[in-house]
C-alpha cells in the first residue's frame, strides 16, 4: 500500500504567477530598449518588436520547461533572471551606440556591435538551462560524480595555461580559443567544484565536525579528512593566481569557507578563513606587482587619474553624474569608461539610471540570493542544502566583488556582473546555476507523503489484517 500524497493544488498558481512576472520583466526590457533608441535617434527603434519577441520566446520557453519539469520550483527566480538578462542586453546595445559615436569622432572604423552576439549567447544559455532541467531530474544524483567533478574542474582551470590553447586578454590568461570565439573555463569549473565540495563535505561532515586537536582556541579536524578538499581548493587557487584571475580566486575561497562552515556548523572555520584571507592578501600584495598596483589605485585613484586610475575615476564620475535618478537611458556618456560592457557595466547603469536604478538592480540580485538560500533551507537532503547554499552564496559574493570594486569599496577584480555584463561563458553558466537552484527548489517544495494519523494507522492495520485473513 502506498502512502497518500498531498494534492499539488498550489503548483499551477505558482507557475501562473511566474508567467505574469516573466512577461512583466520582458515588458520592462522592451521599454528600456525603446528608450535607448528614442534617445539616440529621436524615434522608436525598428527592432524593438523583434527584440521583445525574441526575449519573450526565450523566456517563455524557459517558463514552459520549468512548468513541466519543475512545477514546484520558486516562482520568483526565473522572472528576476529574465529582467537582469534583458536589461543587460539593453545596456550593451546602449554602449554599442557609444562606441560607434566615439569611433566616428576619431575617424576610425566602426566597431562590431556586441548586443546581437549577447542575445545569441542568451539563446545558448536558455538552451543549456532547459537541458539541465530535463536531464537532471534528481539533483542528488550529482553526488555520484563528486570526484569526477573535482578532476574536471581542475582540468578546466589548467586549460588556459597550456601553450597553444590559452589566450591572454588584458594581461590575464583566463580564456581558451575555440575558433573565432573565446571561452572562460573557470565559469564551468566554478559549478563543478561546488558539486565536489557539496558531495565531499556531506560524506565527511561528521568527521570534519569532530576536533582532533585544539590550536589557539580553535578545534581542527584530522588532516586526512580535510586533505582532499583542501588539495582541490589549494590547487584551484594556485592555478587562478598563476593566471592572474584574482577575482575568481577570491570567489572560490569564499565559497569553500562558507560551505565548510555550513557543513560543520563550526564558527572556527569562519575565523580560520578570515585569517587565511588576510595572510593570502598580504602575500599577494607583496609578491605580485599587478596586485600591488590594483591596491594602490584603489587607495589613491586620483593620484594618477589619467593613467592607472583612469578607469576607476571615470566610473566614479559616472556615478556622480547620474545622481539620484540618472541622466536617462541613452542620454549619458557611459562609453568614456574603459571596459564598460564587462567590468564596469554597473557604472553605466549608475550614470543613466542613477542611484534608484543601481539599488533596484541590487535588490533584484538580493531576491535571487534570498530565494536560493530559502531553497537550501527547504531542501530535505544534505547534499542539496549544501549545493544550493554554495550556488546562492557564489552569486551574492560575485555581485559584491564586482560592485564593490566599481564603487571603490574594495580593490578592482576581473569578474563579471551576472547576466548584465557582456560575456558568453558567464551568461551561459549563470543560467545553468539557476537551473540547478530551481531543481533543488522543486525538490524541497514538492509535497511529500501526508502525515499518518493514529486513525489512519489503525485503519491501515485493519485493512492489512483483512487481506491476510482472505488469503
Place of cell 584571475: 245
> Dmax of the chain from CA atoms?
96
Share of the chain above pLDDT 70, in %: 81
* Residue-number span of the structural domain to which 164 is assigned: 10-447
Lowest mean pLDDT among 102-106, 199-203, 271-275, 381-385: 271-275
Per-residue pLDDT at 197: 87
What's the pLDDT band for 30 if we cut at 50, 70, 90? very high
Of residues 119, 63, 116, 47, the one with CA closest to residue 86? 119
d(CA 167, CA 425): 15
Q: Which of 172-181, 341-350, 351-360 has the lowest mean pLDDT?
A: 172-181
Report helix, strand or coil for 174: strand
Tell me whether strands 172-178 and 166-169 are parallel, antiparallel or unpaired: antiparallel
User: Does pLDDT of 322 surpass 60?
Assistant: yes
Mean pLDDT within 78-101: 93
- What is the DSSP secondary-structure string of 400-451? HHHHHHHTTSS-----PPTTTSS-HHHHHHHHHHHHHHHHHHHHHHS--BPP
Q: Is residue 280 part of a domain?
A: yes
Which range scores top for mean pLDDT: 53-57, 179-183, 267-271?
A: 53-57
Is 323 in contact with 354 (CB distance < 8 Å)? Answer: yes
> Where are any strands of DSSP class E within 179-244?
181-183, 213-215, 218-220
pLDDT of 450 > 60? The answer is no
Q: pTM of this prediction?
A: 0.86
Using one digit for the tens of pLDDT, what is the confidence trace for 238-262? Answer: 665 665 666 677 787 788 888 888 8
Rounded to whole angstroms, the Cα distance separating 324 from 230 reads 45
- Of 330-334, 404-408, 427-431, 456-460, the least confident: 456-460
Would you state the cell numbers that stand for residue 99, as one nine-digit string?
Answer: 562606441
Cell of 456: 489512519
Question: Which helix H or strand E contains 179, and what residues bound it?
Answer: none
8 A C-beta contact, residue 91 and residue 348: yes
Flag whether 467 is in a domain: no
Q: Provide CB contacts within 8 A for 167, sequence distance 6+.
A: 160, 173, 175, 176, 177, 182
CA separation for the pair 463, 297 (Å, rounded): 78
Instruction: Using a pLDDT cut of 90, give the percent of the chain over it.
Output: 38
Which tens digits make up the pLDDT trace of 292-320? 888 888 888 888 888 888 888 999 999 99
Residue 155 lies in a domain: yes
Highest mean pLDDT among 248-257, 316-325, 355-364, 400-409: 355-364
Give just the sign of the alpha carbon dihedral 181, 182, 184, 189.
positive
pLDDT for the residue 304? 81
Does some domain include residue 41? yes
Instruction: Using alpha carbons, select from 291, 297, 347, 339 the residue that is nearest to residue 319.
Output: 347
Lowest-pLDDT range, 104-118, 384-398, 440-454?
440-454
Reply yes or no on whether the pLDDT at 160 is more than 80. no
For 110, the grid coordinates are 566602426
Does the pLDDT at position 223 exceed 80? no
What is the predicted pLDDT for the residue at 4?
38
Q: Which residues pair with 176 in a beta bridge?
A: 166, 183
Average pLDDT over residues 338-356: 91
Number of structural domains found in the chain: 1
Report residue 442's pLDDT band, with 50, 70 and 90 as the boundaries: very high
Rounded to the nearest 10°, the torsion over CA 114, 117, 121, 123 is 130
Average pLDDT, stretch 403-424?
Answer: 87
* 29 contacts 52 by C-beta, under 8 angstroms: yes
C-beta separation of 115 from 351 below 8 A: no
Higher pLDDT, residue 209 or 64: 64
Domain assignment present for 431: yes
Summarised one tens digit per residue, pLDDT across range 140-156 is: 999 999 889 988 988 88
Residue 465, in any domain of the structure: no
Residue 146 in domain: yes
- Whether 332 maps to a domain, the answer reads yes
Most confident of 154-163, 356-365, 417-426: 356-365
- Tell me which of 467 and 257 has the higher pLDDT: 257
What pLDDT score does 347 carry?
92
* β pairing state of 218-220 and 213-215: antiparallel
Which of 64-73, 199-208, 221-230 is the least confident region? 221-230
At 99-138, the pLDDT tens digits run: 888 888 888 888 888 999 999 999 999 999 999 999 999 9
Per-residue pLDDT at 15: 80
Instruction: Please report which residue ranges of 265-344 form alpha helices under DSSP H.
Output: 268-287, 289-299, 310-322
Amino acid at each position: 500500500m502506498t502512502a497518500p500524497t498531498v494534492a499539488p493544488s498550489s503548483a499551477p498558481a505558482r507557475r501562473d504567477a511566474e508567467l505574469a512576472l516573466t512577461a512583466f520583466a520582458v515588458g520592462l526590457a522592451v521599454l528600456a530598449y525603446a528608450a535607448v533608441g528614442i534617445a539616440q535617434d529621436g524615434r522608436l527603434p525598428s527592432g524593438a518588436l523583434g527584440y521583445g519577441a525574441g526575449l519573450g520566446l526565450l523566456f517563455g520557453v524557459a517558463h514552459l520547461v520549468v512548468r513541466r519539469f519543475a512545477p514546484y520550483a520558486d516562482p520568483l527566480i526565473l522572472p528576476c533572471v529574465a529582467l537582469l538578462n534583458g536589461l543587460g542586453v539593453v545596456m550593451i546595445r546602449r554602449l554599442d551606440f557609444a562606441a560607434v559615436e566615439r569611433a566616428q569622432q576619431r575617424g576610425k572604423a566602426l566597431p562590431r556591435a556586441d548586443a546581437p552576439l549577447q542575445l545569441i549567447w542568451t539563446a545558448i544559455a536558455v538552451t543549456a538551462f532547459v537541458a539541465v532541467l530535463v536531464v537532471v531530474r534528481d539533483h542528488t544524483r550529482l553526488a555520484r560524480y563528486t570526484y569526477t567533478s573535482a578532476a574536471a574542474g581542475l582540468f578546466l582551470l589548467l586549460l588556459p595555461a597550456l601553450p597553444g590553447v590559452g589566450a591572454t586578454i588584458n594581461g590575464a590568461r583566463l580564456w581558451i580559443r575555440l575558433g573565432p570565439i573565446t571561452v572562460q573555463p573557470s565559469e564551468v569549473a566554478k559549478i563543478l567544484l561546488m558539486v565536489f565540495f557539496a558531495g565531499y563535505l556531506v560524506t565527511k561532515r561528521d568527521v570534519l565536525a569532530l576536533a582532533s586537536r585544539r590550536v589557539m582556541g580553535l578545534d581542527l579536524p584530522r588532516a586526512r579528512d580535510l586533505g582532499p578538499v583542501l588539495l582541490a581548493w589549494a590547487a584551484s587557487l594556485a592555478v587562478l593566481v598563476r593566471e592572474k584571475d584574482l577575482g575568481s580566486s577570491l570567489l572560490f575561497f569564499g565559497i569553500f569557507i562558507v560551505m565548510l562552515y555550513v557543513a560543520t556548523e563550526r564558527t572556527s572555520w569562519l575565523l580560520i578563513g578570515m585569517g587565511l584571507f588576510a595572510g593570502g592578501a598580504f602575500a599577494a600584495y607583496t609578491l605580485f606587482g599587478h596586485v600591488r598596483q590594483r591596491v594602490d589605485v584603489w587607495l589613491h585613484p586620483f593620484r594618477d587619474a589619467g593613467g592607472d586610475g583612469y578607469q576607476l575615476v571615470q566610473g566614479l564620475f559616472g556615478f556622480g553624474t547620474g545622481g539620484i535618478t540618472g541622466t536617462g537611458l541613452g542620454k549619458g556618456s557611459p562609453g568614456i569608461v574603459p571596459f564598460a560592457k564587462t567590468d564596469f557595466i554597473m557604472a553605466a547603469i549608475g550614470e543613466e539610471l542613477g542611484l534608484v536604478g543601481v539599488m533596484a538592480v541590487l535588490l533584484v540580485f538580493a531576491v535571487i540570493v534570498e530565494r536560493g538560500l530559502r531553497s537550501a533551507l527547504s531542501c530535505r537532503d544534505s547534499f542539496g542544502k549544501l549545493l544550493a547554499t554554495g550556488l546562492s552564496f557564489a552569486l551574492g559574493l560575485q555581485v559584491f566583488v564586482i560592485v564593490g570594486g566599481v564603487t571603490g569599496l574594495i580593490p578592482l577584480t576581473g569578474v563579471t556582473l551576472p547576466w548584465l555584463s557582456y560575456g558568453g561563458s558567464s551568461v551561459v553558466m549563470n543560467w545553468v546555476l539557476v537551473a540547478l537552484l530551481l531543481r533543488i527548489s522543486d525538490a524541497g517544495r514538492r509535497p511529500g507523503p501526508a502525515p499518518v494519523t493514529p486513525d489512519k494507522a489503525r485503519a491501515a492495520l485493519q485493512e492489512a489484517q483483512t487481506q491476510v485473513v482472505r488469503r
